[in-house]
Amino acid sequence: MVFNPATDISDLAGKIIFITGGTAGLGKESILALAKKNSAHIYFTGRDEDRAAALITEVQAAAPSAQLTFLKCNMSSLASVSEAAKQLVSETQRLDILVLNAGVFAPEPGLTLDGYELVFGTNHLAHALFVKLLLPTLLQTVDARIVTIASRGHMRAGGIPFGQMRDPQSGFPARKLRYPQSKLANVLYTAELARRYPGLTAVSLHPGVVGTDMLLNAPWFERTVINVMQMWNREPIVTPEEGAYNQLWAATVDKSEVVNGGYYVPVGVVGPRTKQSSDAKLAEELWNWTEKELVGYPASA
């Protein structure tokens, strides 16, 4: 599909949008595009206040009427996620578009501040907490949309080792599976979310192989894997602006054009799934495990 955000995104008047990881990369490009479409307010997270301030200045130069609010958030801390969600809920009674964009690719092995494997804790668990805490607001918004940035890399996961999620997984082959497992969780959790809440529209997607800092600064092993995947899939490296196209499409296309719970590759194409990423039993197991881990963070009524 040929997609041009300038012409293919319809007017977003009245829409409240929230994007995690908005200060750089795909999140930043998404904000730049959506701000030009008359949205009522865009909230976004990040850790760098200077980058956030620079982005707001850049956006308002291109779209003077745009309303933006930065919510400082450390995705490796569930307490920080909870605080950001509470601030958002305190400021708006509706949420039309939620883009779960933040993530890490291949940091050194470690644990989140809550003791979870760093990649899984950041890419899946933190976003699942945002979903849990924002769900009441989403459910009271007509035609709310949730877009989760997954990856074609989920096809390399082979499953989710729930019993190892308190371990940094520093050895091989566990280390090379951290990112694929987190992205498999993104695909499965989205499908289960759509099944449990059919009134929402939830999709996951692969943005393409994007030349962001996260990719360019990855360790040699991970870059090698990506190069092999590129050759296998004949998939070029695209710019961050182009990499944002699939999530912009998924966030704004008419509801009739997406399959609830579906997984898409650029742009707007139903993507291939593995046995694991289509496993309804594994999706339910992930949902139950996640709910148990997040029990200390109840959603507001």
Q: Among 206, 76, 69, 78, which Cα is nearest to 147's?
A: 206
Indicate which residue of 132, 183, 245, 264 is catalytic: 183
182: left (phi over 0), alpha (psi -120 to 50) or beta: alpha
Structure tokens at 86: 């509470």
- Is-catalytic flag, 179? yes
| Distance separating alpha carbons of residues 204 and 299, to the nearest angstrom | 23
Which residues touch 295 (CB under 8 Å, ≥6 apart)?
none
| Distance separating alpha carbons of residues 180 and 153, to the nearest angstrom | 5
Indicate which residue of 28, 43, 132, 179 is catalytic: 179
Structure tokens at 285: 């197991």
Strand partners, 15: none
- Is-catalytic flag, 43? no
- How many other CB atoms are there within 10 angstroms of residue 68's CB atom? 20
Active site residues: 179, 183
